[in-house]
Each structure stands twice: as C-alpha cells, then as structure tokens.
Amino acid sequence: MIKKIINTCAFILILFFMMPSYLTVFAKEIPLELDKAYDACAFTVTTEKYGYYDVTVISPKKDEYKGTIDGSDSTEVLVKDVTAGSWKVRVEESHNESSMASEGSSKDIESQNDTDIGKVKVSVRGIDVSSYTIDKDIKVAKDINGLKMYFKDDNIEIEWSDQSVGNVVVTVTDTQTNVEISKESVKGNSFECEIPKQTKQITIAVVPATSSNIENAASQFTLDVMGVPNASVVYENKEFVNTTTIPVSVELRDKYALEFVVNDKVVEDVPMKDAGTYEYEIPVNEGENRIRTYIIDEKGNMRSTAYQVVKDSESPVLKLEREYDGAKTYNEKVTFEGTVTGQDLFTINDSEVKVSGDGVWKYEYELHDGDNSVVFKATDLAGNETVYPATVIRLIKVKKDVPFIPIIIGVILIVGVVFIIWKRKNPGNRPYNNMIDSIREKPTEKNTVVPAKNKKNGTDKKLNDIQRFGIELIIVVVAAVSIFKFVLIPFTCPSESMQPTIEAGSWGFFNGIAYAFKSPKRGDIISFYSKELDKLLCKRVIGLPGDTVSFYDGYVYINDGLVYEEYIGEDVETNSAISDFVVPKGCYFVLGDNRENSYDSRFWDDPYVKKSAIKGKWMTTLLHFDKDKR
C-alpha cells in the first residue's frame, strides 16, 4: 500500500515537472526539482516589471547557464543534457553597462533591490531532440543582445544592440484573434509596425533569421497595447512665430519622462518627473517646424502630441514715396504714399491702410497745428514689424494786418495840407472864407462893439491875411501835434535787437491807436515802456495771454506747436535758460528778431509786458542812420 502511494506521488511529481511550473516569489533565487534527465530544456523566466536583469540557471553540479533580460520582462535559457535533481534559477540586477547605456544613462533606471524585481515566473519545458536539436552553431533569441521593445504612438518599436546576429525575423500577432499583424526579416537593428486601433494585446516572436526554421527557437513576448498617458501637453496657439523658441506646457498626473523632437531630431530628453506642471522652451528653426512632445512611461512606451509652426524672422519691406520726417507745410491735410510687401497688416497711427495687390498704398492724413507724430507700421503673421516714425510740422501762420487807420489818418493829413495850400492860392471860396472869418474873439456885454460897416459895400469888416494865416497855422500845429503825439508816434530804434527787420538807428512811426479797440496779435512789433530799463523798447509779440511759450533745440514752440518765423535767418537758434513760459492774462511775451543778441522776455526779472505799457504798433521805417557814422 505504501509503495503504491509513493509511486502515485512520484507520478504526480513527474506530471508536475513535465508541465510548466509557475513560482511567484519576491526573491531572486527560485529552486526547481527535475525528476528525470532531458536531452534539452527551455527555462523561461518572466519578471513582473520591465528592466535589465541577469538570469542564471544552475545545475545540480553547479554548472551555470546564462541569460539576460534587456529592457523587457522575459527571456529563455536553453540547456542541453539536463540531468535530474535540484536546479536553481537566479535573477538579479544587471550590471551590463552596454545595456544600461542603450537606455540613456544609469541614473535613468531605477535601482532594483529584492522588492523592485517583483514577482518572478519560471517555466521549464522539455524539448524533443528528434524535432529540434540545439547546436552550438545555431543562434536562438536569447543570443540577441540589448533586445528591448516599447510602444511609440500607434506603433510597436523593437530594437537590439547586437551587431553580429545578422537578420532577425520579427512576427507580431494579435493575441486575442491570433491574426498576424506583421512579419518581417529585419536587416538592421530595429523593427516597427503599426498596431490596429482595435487591438488590445499583441504577441511578439523574435528569432535570428538563421534559426527561424527551427521549432521553438523564437522568444515570445506578450504586451498590452499602450493606452493614453495620464498627462497633457499644451502648445502656444500660433501658426507663425519669429522667436528662437516656443513655449510648451506639460501637465503630468503620474510619473513620466519626456522627449522633445523637432523635424525628427531629438532636441531634449527629460528624465522621469513626478506629477506636476512643467514649462519648457523648445528651439525652432527658420521655416517649417514639425514638433512632437513624447510622454514616456516606466516601461519605455511613448505617446506624442504633435504641433506644427513656421518660424519667419524676415520683416515686411516698407518704402515711402518721399522723406516725411521733418516735412513742413501750411496745409491742413497731407497725403502719404508708398509701397509695402510681406505684411499682413499695415497701419498709420493704428488706422488700417488699404494696400493694393502690388503693394501700393495712399493715405490722406489731417494735421493739427505744430508737430504731428506719424507712425507707419507694417506687421506680418509672425509678429515681425517694420516701423517708420515721422514728425510732420504744420506751420502757424503769423497774420500781418494792414495798418488801415494810420494810413487813413496820414491820407487825411496830407489832403488837409494840400487843401490849405490850394485855398491860399485860390481865396475866392466864400464858404471857406466865412468859416475862417467866423473865428473871432467874442465881445463882452459891457464892452460890446458893433463892427463898423464898410462904407463902400456895407458889409462887416473881415479878417485880414495875417489873422487868417495865424488861425491856419494854429490848426495845422494842433493837428500835427495831436497826430504825432497820439497817432503817428515817431521812434528811433536804439539797438540791434530787431535786426534784420529794423536796423539799429532806423527812424519810423508807431501807430498809437492800433490797440485802442483790439489787442496785439502774434507777430506784431510793438513799442512799450520798460520799468526795468526805464525807457521805450521795440520788440515782437510771440506769446499771447494764456499761451505756453517753449524753447527746444533752438526753436520756439507755442502750445507745443512749432512757430515758423520767416523774419529770422534759417541758421538762427532761439535758446533760453528757462524752457517754458506761461503768459498771464493781460500780458504778452516778446522777443527781438536778433535772437542771439537781444535782451528780451527770456532774460527779464518780469518776463511779461502788460497791455497798459504798450504805446503802439510799428508801422514802417522811413529813414535809416548808420550809428557808427553819426
């Protein structure tokens, strides 16, 4: 009975070892008991995690048979002349530097201790020598060094570092449907094929081409098709840029590595990052840029987010019909013309300008008094700008009034004098004689004298010639004094401050009643009394009440508008130690035309002339005396 039980147990053990055994442990060494000898056995080792491991199969005689797991999760070690007894399979971290380098650097791979290896599955399969004979000259899958496989978007990528293995046959099959997806004999060191979207799991068989006809020589791997990573990539929403880099924002909700590729060239590798949001600047080249950001999980599977952008660093070409900067005009409007190419938008002071198909444009612009800042700007889709700033000056016209009142008074005076002279030569005008004769001394009541009648004609005695001449002379003198005292005020220019308009020593007239009913205007030459110098001066009115008179770069500005002064030389500069003057109410700011040799409002303690101090308006120069010759 006992013998029967022992035989039964032995039979069960034989069946157990003839079937694949699964030993899941959290250790590096797995013991195996084989109850009989085999011509050959295949020891298949599968790890829970992808990685790089050294696998050693140890016989009862302590002979060792080596295998490696290079970036995958399984390998197969083939052993000839397998004897019965206690066998061991040892799995440990790989220290093969070449395999580590193929992944980038050793620091990119997590250190693997006992718990890092995770669960290990070992299966032993006996091989029938009649159908498959292992020979030392026959390469099998375990001989392919550096074998690794991973998903890249919708493709499966298989790579190996072995340069001596020759062609490799790779077969990819849908595990669920057993439909072959791809089979190819690869001449190089990599293989890829697209995985149909509906496929959930694939089986990969890899074998050297020289052993492809040998049964069970291929290594098989089963992989779940990569899903969508728990991460997102956000690019800047632009089709064109003019920068050397573009920003990329990556949000990781799990632990991932990153890879940035521009035009199929890797520009940056980022090792494993913890969950979080990260910002990167990706370099771009002139022209079209095809960009992919890959999210890489711990198994090396890669999923990308694509983006395409054009770098354009060439600015639009803008040409103006003529030079507008510094242009001066009295017109209210100016027409700008020119051509522009390579632009998406063309503006003048932020107003869009219509451009014809050949790049020609024309734009009418309304000016205000003084300086007009105009900015021509052409912008393309990439943000490149061509900017042309210009300042167009609308000149302020200084109105010159015709002195009608002094002219009329002068004409009347001249006519009066001529009339008197004419009447003296033609005394027969009775109304005139009667008017002169009527100018007599009135008699008093006590001494009333009745004029005697002329005995000859019976009329009153008339004024004699001397009396008449005296009256006429008094009238002329009074009229002349009144005119030259209050209307036509004679004046001699005492200095060179008004040159070249009025030379020093010039003699002329001021209109004394010019401002009786109106105020001085800008540009008027006035005579006024200066308390500071205690004498009459002659200057030109520049600033009116309320004006701000400024001096900048040798020019005079009124309320920020440039004053065009045709009465001074083009090369004459007007400068002042004080840059701005605000003219008070009822006052005026005056300058001499000889700006570089004039003591005027710029230098006085009180720079403003009150209207009450103004004596008249300059009319004309009659005579000029050279001061050096007098």
598 pLDDT above the threshold of 80:
yes
72 close to 50: Cβ distance less than 8 angstroms: yes
- CA distances to 73, 401, 406, 429, 585 from 537, rounded to whole Å, are 108, 21, 21, 48, 21
Q: Would you state the pLDDT for residue 286?
A: 94
Better pLDDT: 113 or 358: 358
Q: Would you state the pLDDT for residue 136?
A: 45
Better pLDDT: 154 or 130: 154
253 pLDDT above the threshold of 50:
yes
d(CA 388, CA 37): 93
Q: What is the dihedral of CA 535, 541, 545, 551, to 10 degrees?
A: -110
Better pLDDT: 345 or 19: 345
| pLDDT bracket for residue 305 (50, 70, 90) | very high
Better pLDDT: 444 or 270: 270
| pLDDT bracket for residue 46 (50, 70, 90) | confident
Better pLDDT: 162 or 484: 162
Q: Which residues are catalytic?
A: 497, 539
346 pLDDT above the threshold of 90:
yes
Stretch 79-108: mean pLDDT: 66
**ω into 500 cis (within 30 of 0):** yes
Enumerate domains of the chain plus CATH numbers. 16-134 (2.60.120.260), 231-311 (2.60.40.10), 317-394 (2.60.40.10), 398-443+457-630 (2.10.109.10)
Better pLDDT: 177 or 217: 177
What is the per-residue pLDDT across 610-620, written as a single tens digit (0 to 9) for each? Answer: 988 888 888 76
Phi, psi of 275 (to 5 degrees): -55, 140
Better pLDDT: 188 or 20: 188
Q: Would you state the pLDDT for residue 232?
A: 94
Containing 424, the helix (H) or strand (E) segment is helix 404-425
At residue 18, what is the residue type? M
Among 131-135, 312-316, 436-440, the least confident range: 131-135
Q: Would you state the pLDDT for residue 430?
A: 53
